[in-house]
Amino acid sequence: MSQRTIPADFVRRAAALAASGGFDMSIPLAAAGITLPMLRDENARLTADQLTLFTQAAWQLTGDELFGLGAAPVPRGTFKLVCLSLIHTPDLGSALERMADVMRALPGPPPLRIRTGESTTRLQVVIPGGTKRCPQRPRTPPTVCSPTSS
């Protein structure tokens, strides 16, 4: 039976954005056994356990469920409350709309924008104070990410 994996790019982007906010993400990466060469490899995959270890270590480092990316720190347990508000929604579209509503009521999490098309839906996280962008396919460590203006 194959184990499900996550693209390393997911962690690379989170680490790069947190690093651009002044956090040294080497500790969460090391705690999860994630190396810089893994983050540079566009085909690298991580296990769910690695993602969990990285996330928990990043939470501990930043004291924030969003790794320091929101307008204010997001206390531990916020994501759980958001999920509980979504549990009885009838479909994915309703869940996304409710999540956007809940996020607006919480201090800290960035607002979400939902754009529904004929065959696709786009969920955009709006990072206040300018958009932080990371290169699509980097060949450098996660600390290269820097804020840019929209």
Q: What span, in angstroms and rounded, lies between the C-alpha atoms of 75 and 1?
A: 37
Q: What span, in angstroms and rounded, lies between the C-alpha atoms of 12 and 19?
A: 10
- DSSP assignment letter at 43: T
Structure tokens at 146: 């820097």
pTM over 0.75: no
Alpha helices in 22-119 (DSSP H): 26-31, 36-40, 48-62, 78-86, 92-105
Lowest mean pLDDT among 5-14, 100-109, 141-150: 141-150
Q: What span, in angstroms and rounded, lies between the C-alpha atoms of 46 and 56?
A: 15
- Environment class of 64 (CB within 10 Å of its CB; exposed 0-12, middle 13-18, buried 19+): buried
Q: Model confidence over 44-85: pLDDT tens digits?
A: 999 999 999 999 999 999 888 888 777 788 888 888 998 999
Domain ranges of the chain: 5-148
Per-residue pLDDT at 86: 94
Q: 3-class SS at 122?
A: strand
Q: Model confidence over 122-135: pLDDT tens digits?
A: 888 876 655 445 54
